[in-house]
Amino acid sequence: MLNKISSLGQSPWYWLSLIAIGLGSESIALFYQYVLDLRPCVLCIHVRIWMLALVIVASLALLIRHSRKLLVVAHVLVTLIMAGLLETSYQLLGTERGWVFGSCDFNLGLPEWLALEEWLPSVFKVWEACGYTPELLFGVTMAEALLVMSASLLLISCALIVSAFVRRSDT
């Protein structure tokens, strides 16, 4: 069983699917922003940053997937990204539902050397305060979908790390 899970983490299809998830999520967000005219909040932009990180790591992992040590690093990075995305999704859903209170201002909180909102404002500029996320399909909001997706991908990436270490200790 662990061999099957481990082989999934080495498969180009796994990494391509992560790239597709990241790019698809970014595309949906931009569709809602520019076609449906729903402006993003700071937490929405944080989700976009996590998705960008996922696309970058998955793209690099696709290139280095034959190196076992580098692949483990890629799995750890994906796990950290999914944990960050899960936390941001939780904050987004909590803000939407009213059980998480905090400052949701227009400052992304990024360091000066990572000025994404200046480099690419069409994607990373905060336009409004946090409040609600739009409904996607069947009454499911964007925050709910993000929470389920990030939790699922976090579990998968954790399983891949465990299988990589167990398989490594077996050989």
pLDDT tens-digit series, residues 125-148: 888 877 777 778 888 888 889 999
Termini Cα distance of the chain: 15
CB atoms within 10 A of CB 97: 12
pLDDT tens-digit series, residues 44-91: 889 999 999 999 999 999 998 788 888 889 999 999 999 999 998 888
Average pLDDT over the chain, rounded to whole? 84
Dig out the tokens for 144 from the structure.
């709910």
Q: Are 133 and 96 in contact (CB under 8 A)?
A: yes
Q: Are 41 and 128 in contact (CB under 8 A)?
A: yes
What is the domain class of 2-170 according to CATH? mainly alpha
pLDDT of 168 reads 53
Q: Are 58 and 116 in contact (CB under 8 A)?
A: no
Name the more confident of 165 and 93.
Answer: 93
pLDDT of 124 reads 85
Dig out the tokens for 118 from the structure.
């200046």
Cα 67 from Cα 92, distance rounded (Å): 37
Q: Are 170 and 119 in contact (CB under 8 A)?
A: no
Cα 163 from Cα 32, distance rounded (Å): 38
Question: Facing residues of 137 across strands?
Answer: 140
**What are the counts of helices (DSSP H) followed by strands (DSSP E) for the chain?**
7, 2
CB atoms within 10 A of CB 31: 11
Report the predicted TM-score, pTM, of the whole model to 2 decimal places. Answer: 0.85
